[in-house]
Amino acid sequence: MEATKSTVVLSDIRLPLIWTGMKAKSDKKKFAVFCLARIGCEIIDTTVKYIDKKSTEI
């Protein structure tokens, strides 16, 4: 049996955010997030996205 190559496509990944246990001071803070995915020996990264406590999903 011969090995075959395939393609993996990552799209529309959603991460729910839960903002519990945060102090009131953090309401005005912004955070930077990004995602890294390692598939075999390849590493794929996303752009940085800035979020605050109003964000519920990225």
> Which of these, 24, 21, 29, lies nearest to 55 by C-alpha position?
29
> Which of these, 2, 21, 19, 4, lies nearest to 57 by C-alpha position?
19
User: CA 23: distance to chain centroid?
Assistant: 23
Q: What pLDDT score does 25 carry?
A: 60
The predicted-structure confidence for 9-56, as pLDDT tens digits, reads as follows 777 777 777 766 666 565 677 888 888 888 888 888 888 888 887 777
Q: What pLDDT score does 26 carry?
A: 56
pTM: 0.50
Domain boundaries, the chain: 13-58
Q: What pLDDT score does 13 carry?
A: 74
